[in-house]
Amino acid sequence: MRKKLNSITGKLILTIGSMMLIAGFFFAYVFITQNPEVDIWTVLFYGGFFVAVISVILCLILYYIVTRPLSMLTEGMNKLSMGDMEQRIHIASKDEIGLLAGSFNSMAEELKEYKEKMENWTKSLEDEVQKKTAEIVRAQEQLINAEKLASLGRMAAGVAHELNSPLTGIVTFAYLMIKRMPKENTQDIEDLKVIIDQAERCSRIVRGLLGFSRKTASEKARVNINLLIENTLSMVRNQAKFHNIAFDVDLDKSVPEVTADPNQIQQVFLNLLINSADAMEENGTVKIASRPTEEDGNKFIELEFADTGPGIPEDITGRIFEPFFTTKPAGKGTGLGLSVSYGIIKKHGGQIFLKSGIGGGANFIIRLPATKGGND
């Protein structure tokens, strides 16, 4: 492009130069024929000098009017094509080259705007892809977890069902034996009581398993969750385990009612509170909050149970809802509290999950669907 422009300018200069030369020689010829007494070499010298001066002036004018603006344009285009969107050409003249420079500048401005739009669009697309990928990964993890828990639940339900009758038998026959036992056989009576205690403990575990595997019937009613939380708290406040625990309660009065089995939901609250008390070694603060939320046009009630305990190490967060998973010493934890809670909340069409457990205490979230057509 540059070469082409230079050759056009060159040709222009050559043509004008040649015309000046011919005009010079023509005027020299006329001058000599009019004044034959003047020396031919003098005429040629002054003629040539005149032509040379005019040519230099013309070349300078051409350089400033044509060559320089054209090379500025060429350079601008080259820089623009290499991605320099800030490139602008400052030519003040009102002629065609000035117009060309103006068009170039507005074209560069538009290109810059388009480039910025494209960059913004690409960035928002990348952000959206990242967000969706994270959502898919989370959903996949939840699905795997739900499947794992469901198959564990089926297995647990089978085992619990099989164990229920023999356990009832053990307890019943142990009681019968105590009745038949002579009063003075105190040692035997004590041993039988231990058998009954242990068998009843097994029964409690079995009941928990059945709760987790949704095999127990539930009695649902319209429940005011805030009230249920208050009731649960007044229940635990009287227990020694909770004497040194402060409750930071923030219940939103506008939460809708839920259709639920109040006993089962209370069992979930108790499980969470007992776990917090254990984790905090019976000294700390439990924050309990309720608030209304909405997802895809459906109303939910969200509950938060957060404690000031040590939190849950990252390597076990994926296992805490599994039946029989416990980090508590033997005899203290059954590993059923959270799995039973999970089963209960699922059965109510809700969700329970650990929002954050690493350092700074454990923070559990429960989401329950609001009663359709209930109070808002």
Antiparallel, parallel or unpaired: β 298-307 and 284-295: antiparallel
- Decide whether 309 or 369 has the Cβ nearer to ligand ADP: 309
- Decide whether 220 or 287 has the Cβ nearer to ligand ADP: 287
- Decide whether 104 or 212 has the Cβ nearer to ligand ADP: 212
- Decide whether 261 or 307 has the Cβ nearer to ligand ADP: 307
- Decide whether 225 or 338 has the Cβ nearer to ligand ADP: 338
CB 234 within 8 A of CB 249: no
The least distance separating ligand ADP from the CB of residue 84, rounded to whole angstroms, comes to 58
Antiparallel, parallel or unpaired: β 284-295 and 245-251: parallel
What gap in Å lies between CA 273 and CA 242, rounded to an integer?
Answer: 9
The least distance separating ligand ADP from the CB of residue 277, rounded to whole angstroms, comes to 9
The least distance separating ligand ADP from the CB of residue 179, rounded to whole angstroms, comes to 34
CB 285 within 8 A of CB 247: yes
What gap in Å lies between CA 281 and CA 283, rounded to an integer?
Answer: 6
CB 257 within 8 A of CB 224: yes
CB 261 within 8 A of CB 217: no
- Decide whether 193 or 355 has the Cβ nearer to ligand ADP: 355
The least distance separating ligand ADP from the CB of residue 300, rounded to whole angstroms, comes to 23
- Decide whether 275 or 290 has the Cβ nearer to ligand ADP: 275
The least distance separating ligand ADP from the CB of residue 220, rounded to whole angstroms, comes to 24
CB 277 within 8 A of CB 244: no
Q: Which residues pair with 365 in a beta bridge?
A: 304, 353
Is residue 135 classed exposed, middle or buried when 0-12, 13-18 and 19+ CB atoms within 10 A define those classes? exposed
CB 251 within 8 A of CB 279: no
375 SS3 class: coil
Rg of the chain taking only CA atoms, in angstroms: 46
| Interaction site with ligand ADP (CB under 6 A) | 271, 275-276, 279, 307, 309, 312, 320, 325-328, 333-339, 362
The least distance separating ligand ADP from the CB of residue 276, rounded to whole angstroms, comes to 4
Length of the chain equals: 376
The least distance separating ligand ADP from the CB of residue 127, rounded to whole angstroms, comes to 34
Q: Which residue is nearest to ligand ADP (CB)?
A: 337
